Homo-oligomer: A and B are copies of this chain.
Amino acid sequence: MVELTRRDRQRAATVAEIKTAARKLLVEGGAPSVGLRAVARELGLSAPALYRYFGSHEDLISALIADLYDELTDALISLRDGDPDADLGDKLFLIAGGLRDWALAHPAEFGLLFGAPVPNPDADDHELTPGHLAAMRFAAVFKELVAQIYHHQPFPHPDEESLGPELLAQLRRKSEFFDGMPAGAVYLSLTYWTRLYGLICMEVFGQLHWAFEDAGAYFQAQLFEIGEALGLDCPVPE
């Protein structure tokens, strides 16, 4: 039984207020605009007051990152489950397109999530932050869907001999995480994931507009390729 005093509720409300203010500043002026003092100013507080709620400026940013991951994940999930007539392939196209749309609509947030180096949690001096957990929940959306597609109708994948022993060993260790998919299918899943990620990264970070004034058609073509490789019947790009 959780007993929430009034102060606890007020505290939670203030934390939420701080994060929404930080989010607002992030949207308006990008990552550098979300400073501790600026956030405090936004809600009429003095800067040191925020230290009652977050241990440091970095902690605030980390909390913001975790929230953004959650928001993005929820958006993709509701996209995935929104249309009852959508089959597995439709769902994949929906969340892939949804990820791109979110990234283009929220470039500052996307840059914060994916454009900054992530500390390796395997290293001894770092532990799993809420941001890491939220990122894994995000990645799981894709992973689960691909695994469902595979178990519904296995798509062709390279056999284990062709992968090379070192890569094979690492893929085998991830097989369980991918709901028991064989190493070759895990390899393909990771390949498609990195392709989508790289594509969206390049577009959002402006590394692509020397080639395309509108990368939408290119993205659709790439998605189509991936869908074909996964054995899905894709809508022909018009």
Contacts and interface: CB of A to CB of B under 8 A. Distances in A.
B116 A207 contact: no
B122 A174 contact: no
A83 to B, nearest CB: 24
Interface in A74-121: 107, 111, 114-120
Identical chains in the assembly: 2
A45 interface: no
Interface stretch (A4-12, A15-23, A47-55, A190-198): A190-198
A14 B42 CA distance: 43
A119 B205 CA distance: 9
A206 B139 contact: no
Interface string A122-162: 10000000000000100100000000000000000000000
Contacts of A201: 197-198, 201
A27 interface: no
A136 B198 contact: no
A214 interface: yes
A119 B217 CA distance: 21
A215 to B, nearest CB: 9
A194 B202 contact: yes
A13 interface: no
A221 B198 CA distance: 17
A72 interface: no
A95 to B, nearest CB: 17
B205 A116 contact: yes
A238 B199 contact: no
Interface of A: 107, 111, 114-120, 122, 136, 139, 163-164, 166-167, 170, 174, 187, 190-191, 194-195, 197-199, 201-202, 204-214, 217-218, 220-222, 225, 237-238
6 contacts: A111-B117, A114-B205, A164-B238, A194-B202, A195-B195, A198-B202
Given A115-B116, A118-B207, A167-B218, 16 more contacts: A107-B117, A111-B115, A116-B205, A118-B205, A119-B206, A164-B217, A164-B220, A166-B217, A170-B211, A170-B217, A190-B211, A190-B218, A195-B195, A195-B198, A197-B201, A198-B199
